[in-house]
């Protein structure tokens, strides 16, 4: 096929273009989760600067509440950007998202603090968090949708797993940023100006992300839909009226994604230092262990899902969370090597689930409502099980006098997620559905089955 000829199916896309698509979608996703992670990891510092109080716990809770607020608007962002991507195309919407998201994060780094402008400071901080949360409502879902529609059928699990890897990379960079600051700056310097640096990094990252995305073509699936005149005229209505079951399913599949990220990664340093009295350096190394094992397992689980199917991989991950989370957190409290071994297992469990679910999300929806349906379901799930869970864990743990609250929340979420996994209809080795949602048994059997390539 000529390099200028438009591919009509994912299997015709040149390897170089596929790699560029992976880079383009991954960088925005890394930026999204870097933003959320760096705020979560610097919650204590930001609480003192923007929500000063005589009670340090109150400042931390207010800071975490601002963090959680951004997740309340994510479903609105998903409901706006997702259907827009189903109507106008994936590429253009993702370009708008990466610019808006990076600009909101960059502006946080420019904010004056409470000591300078009083109550206007936390108001502006919350406003920027809301803007960032709104735009992020279409980022990971749009990126996953786009790369799934680019990926070869037999390798869709492996290729889409890179989106989840980019998310864990964002978490790691968000974790590393305050740690690097603490190594080179004093506490007074961090509180004075150093805290701004990680947020300001979002500016150039956003420019790079926009440049790469502008070089991409629209996905073959959406182009074919447009040429056939099958683009939904009102994708939001179509999604909510005809595809609400698939929206609910996507939300259910996302429960362990969000709980894993925000309990195991974002909240972990605060949990280790505030609840278990670990040193900041030990908390950093322990959380890094989670990230490294999470990241390392994701591509193997994605590749395995291409061989044996998404469902067995997701079932293994969900069952592991249900059975092992409480013992893991009991081991974490022991300190020393036990903490690191336990958190390595926690990271591996999350990586297993992420590798299996990465391709399953877009496989639930038909092309004409894939971006919007995925965005709505995923972000409602994120609002319930994501950003608010650190606040809930901190509050309930303090009120009930237990340090095991994160384990209880993850276990309950795992049980709910397991129900959703059992409802997923296997799509490994099959083309993405074009006209009917894949969770329908009739649609799944109507789709032409390809051999699963090992």
Give the pLDDT confidence of 333-382 residue by residue, as tens digits. Answer: 898 899 999 999 999 999 999 999 999 999 999 999 999 999 999 999 98
| pLDDT at position 11 | 64
52 occurs within a structural domain: yes
31 occurs within a structural domain: yes
175 occurs within a structural domain: yes
Which CATH number is 59's domain given? 1.20.1250.20
| pLDDT at position 375 | 94
Residues of the chain with pLDDT under 70: 1-11, 53-55, 57, 60, 387, 435-454
1 occurs within a structural domain: no
5 occurs within a structural domain: no
Domain count, the chain: 1
| pLDDT at position 112 | 93
| pLDDT at position 444 | 41
| pLDDT at position 7 | 64
| pLDDT at position 8 | 59
| pLDDT at position 400 | 85
| pLDDT at position 9 | 62
454 occurs within a structural domain: no
| pLDDT at position 443 | 39
| pLDDT at position 55 | 66
166 occurs within a structural domain: yes
Tell me the pTM: 0.85
> Per residue in 379-400, pLDDT tens?
999 888 876 787 788 788 888 8
| pLDDT at position 54 | 67
> Per residue in 24-66, pLDDT tens?
888 888 888 888 778 877 777 888 888 876 667 677 677 777 7
| pLDDT at position 411 | 94
Domain boundaries, position 84: 10-446
385 occurs within a structural domain: yes
| pLDDT at position 25 | 87
3-state secondary structure the chain: CCCCCCCCCHHHCCHHHHHHHHHHHHHHHHHHHHHHHHHHHCHHHHHHHHCCCCCHHHHHHHHHHHHHHHHHCHHHHHHHHHHHHHHHCHHHHHHHHHHHHHHHHHHHCCCCCHHHHCCHHHHHHHHHHHHHHHHHCCHHHHHHHHHHHHCCHHHHHHHHHHHHHHHHHHHHHHHHHHHHHHHHCCHHHHHHHHCHHHHHCHHHHHHHHHHHHHCCCCCHHHHHHHHCCCCCCCHHHHHHHHCHHHHHHHHHHCHHHHHHHHHHHHCHHHHHHHHCCCCHHHHHHHHHHHHHHHHHHHHHHHHHHHHHCHHHHHHHHHHHHHHHHHHHHHHHCCCCHHHHHHHHHHHHHHHHHHHHHHHHHHHCCCHHHHHHHHHHHHHHHHHHHCCHHHHHHHHHHHHHCCCCHHHHHHHHHHHHHHHHHHHCCCCCCCCCCCCCCCCCHHHHHHCCCCCCCC
């Amino acid at each position: 096929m000529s390099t200028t000829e438009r591919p009509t199916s994912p299997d015709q896309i040149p390897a170089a273009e596929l790699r560029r698509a992976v880079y383009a979608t991954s960088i925005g996703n890394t930026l999204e989760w870097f933003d959320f992670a760096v705020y979560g990891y610097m919650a204590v510092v930001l609480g003192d600067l923007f929500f000063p109080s005589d009670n340090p716990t109150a400042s931390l809770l207010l800071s975490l509440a601002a963090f959680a607020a951004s997740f309340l608007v994510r479903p609105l962002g998903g409901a706006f950007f997702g259907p827009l991507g189903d109507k106008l195309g994936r590429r253009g919407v993702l370009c708008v998202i990466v610019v808006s998201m990076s600009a909101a994060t960059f502006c946080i780094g420019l904010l004056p603090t409470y000591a300078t402008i009083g109550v206007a400071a936390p108001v502006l901080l919350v406003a920027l968090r809301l803007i960032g949360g709104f735009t992020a409502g279409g980022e990971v879902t749009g990126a996953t949708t786009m790369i799934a529609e680019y990926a070869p059928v037999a390798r869709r699990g492996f290729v889409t797993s890179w989106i989840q890897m980019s998310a864990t990379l964002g978490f790691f960079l968000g974790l590393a940023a305050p740690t690097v600051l603490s190594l080179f700056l004093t506490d007074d310097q961090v509180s004075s100006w150093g805290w701004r640096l990680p947020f300001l990094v979002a500016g150039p990252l956003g420019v790079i992300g926009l440049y790469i995305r502008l070089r991409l073509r629209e996905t073959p699936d959406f182009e074919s839909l447009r040429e056939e005149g099958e683009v939904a005229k009102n994708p939001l209505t179509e999604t909510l009226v005809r595809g609400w079951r698939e929206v609910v399913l996507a939300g259910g599949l996302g429960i362990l994604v969000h709980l894993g990220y925000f309990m195991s990664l974002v909240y972990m340093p605060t949990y280790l230092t505030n609840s278990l009295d670990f040193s900041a350096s030990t908390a950093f190394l322990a959380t890094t262990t989670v990230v490294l094992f999470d990241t390392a397992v994701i591509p193997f689980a994605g590749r395995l899902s291409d061989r044996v199917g998404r469902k067995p991989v997701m079932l293994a991950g969900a069952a592991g969370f249900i059975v092992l989370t409480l013992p893991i957190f009991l081991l974490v409290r022991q300190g020393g090597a036990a903490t690191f071994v336990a958190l390595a297992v926690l990271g591996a469990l999350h990586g297993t689930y992420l590798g299996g679910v990465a391709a399953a999300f877009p496989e639930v929806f038909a092309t004409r409502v894939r971006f919007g349906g995925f965005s709505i379901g995923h972000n409602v799930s994120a609002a319930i099980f994501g950003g608010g869970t650190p606040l809930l864990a901190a509050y309930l743990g303090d009120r009930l006098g237990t340090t095991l609250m994160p384990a209880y929340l993850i276990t309950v979420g795992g049980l709910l997620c397991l129900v959703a996994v059992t409802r997923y209809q296997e799509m490994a080795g099959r083309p993405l559905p074009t006209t009917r949602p894949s969770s329908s048994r009739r649609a799944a059997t109507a789709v032409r089955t390809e051999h699963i390539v090992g």
